[in-house]
Amino acid sequence: MKIAIFHDHFAFIGGGEKLVLTLARHLGADVISTDVDRRLIELMGFNDVNVISLGSLCRTPPLRQIQSTIKFASCDFRGKYDFFIFSGNWAHHASNKHKPNLFYCHTPVRAFYDQREVMAATMNPVARIAFLGWTAAHSRLDLRSIGRIDRIACNSQNTARRIKKYLGRDATVIYPPVDTSKYRYICDDGFWLSVNRLYPEKRIEVQIEAFRQMPEEKLVIIGNCGVGDHSVEYAAGLKKDLPANVTMISDVAEDQLIDYCGRCRGLITTAADEDFGMTVIEAMAAGKPVIAVAEGGYLETVADSITGKFIECVPEAIVCSVKGAGTEWSWSRDECEQRSKLYDTSKFICACGEAITGLE
């Protein structure tokens, strides 16, 4: 059976991109996408995956998102493949021509649903009117496209609840893949690690402010901002006033990221209602604890005071947890490594295979 996987774009390194490339490699599938930065695919270690580009997109939102929707809705690969998988916010618009299909939903488009009013509140009046008009119109297209999907899979129980609430569909939870065999404990080099896309909803400014209050501690932030979206201005603001003990780097190759995980003291993550959070699994696979906000997918993956520590999303909570690590709260390196194996790539591939077989 020949399979095609449609994915939004490869404009930065993220969990969704790794998931798609991992699935394509194991299924022998082609990936069809827009804005294909092959350098980033190489950095992620997936040169062997065949990626077909539908062309580049403009950088200006929401024109970028509209253009992406049109490209996927108008493309036609019928007759070339036997099965189709969609990944991302816009790729599923190809469902109008491509069946049988499976949609792996990382999350319903949050700007259309749970974060719409929050995002609108931060805009000036003119931008707010334009934003609300676009999201109202495009969300109707989104729901119509979802109606053409045969089956939905998603990355966590947290996301499944969102899908049921906003899309009115049931979803099968298939946890994202992490090749846990690649990760290992190397040492404790004395720095804390943060790995995220540089998006406002990741609340990285809270981490930076916490470490501003702890000049004796070190934080390494690894991440990229998006292209043509709300992250560009946010990322620029983060970089303007970094304290001396905080380092921010981007475009890190997979082997370098594995090395950082193996040498850090632990991972810190503050994303708002995170869909799943693959970086948590990567850190635990390296035997490292996780300081995470008590929200979203982290509640499914982190075992409090066994593989990490749950906190409120305020700088003071991070300060308290960092200073209390190993004394006021502790973790088990062995428990971290064992828990990560619950999300190993082998389980993901097996579950996806079963989902596809059920739709053939």
161-200 pLDDT per residue, tens:
999 999 999 999 999 999 999 999 999 999 999 999 898 9
The burial of 41, by beta-carbon neighbours within 10 Å (0-12 exposed, 13-18 middle, 19 or more buried), is given as buried
pLDDT band at 34, cuts 50/70/90?
A: very high
Query: Are 86 and 359 a contacting pair, CB within 8 Å?
Result: no
Q: What is the pLDDT of residue 130?
A: 93
Q: What is the CA radius of gyration of the chain?
A: 20
Query: Are 92 and 103 a contacting pair, CB within 8 Å?
Result: yes
pLDDT (tens digit per residue) in 266-320: 999 999 999 999 999 999 999 999 999 999 999 999 999 999 999 999 999 999 9
Tell me 200's DSSP state.
Answer: G
Q: What is the pLDDT of residue 230?
A: 64
Phi, psi of 158 (to 5 degrees): -60, -45
Q: Examine the pLDDT at 228 and tell me if it is beyond 60.
A: no
The C-alpha atoms of residue 59 and residue 67 are separated, in whole angstroms, by: 10
Q: Using CA atoms of 58, 60, 65, 66 in order, give the dihedral in degrees to the nearest 10.
A: -80
Average confidence score pLDDT of the chain: 95
Query: Are 138 and 90 a contacting pair, CB within 8 Å?
Result: no
pLDDT (tens digit per residue) in 316-350: 999 999 999 999 999 999 999 999 999 999 999 99
Tokens describing residue 228: 């043509």
Q: What is the pLDDT of residue 112?
A: 96
Ordered structural domains, the chain, with CATH: 3-177+344-357 (3.40.50.2000), 180-343 (3.40.50.2000)
Mean per-residue pLDDT, 194-214: 95
Of 219-228, 236-245, 263-272, which has the strongest mean pLDDT? Answer: 263-272
pLDDT (tens digit per residue) in 113-145: 999 998 898 889 999 999 999 999 999 999 999
The C-alpha atoms of residue 352 and residue 128 are separated, in whole angstroms, by: 40
**Percent with pLDDT over 90 in the chain:** 89
The C-alpha atoms of residue 47 and residue 90 are separated, in whole angstroms, by: 24
Q: How far is CA 172 from the centre of its chain?
A: 18
pLDDT (tens digit per residue) in 67-94: 999 999 999 999 999 999 999 999 999 9
Residue 74 burial (CB count, 10 A): 12
Of the candidates 260, 332, 285, 288, the one whose C-alpha atom is nearest the C-alpha of residue 182 is: 285
Q: What is the pLDDT of residue 360?
A: 64
Helix axes 15-27, 345-357, angle to 10 degrees: 60
Three-class SS state of 52: strand
Amino acid type, 357: T
pLDDT band at 223, cuts 50/70/90?
A: very high
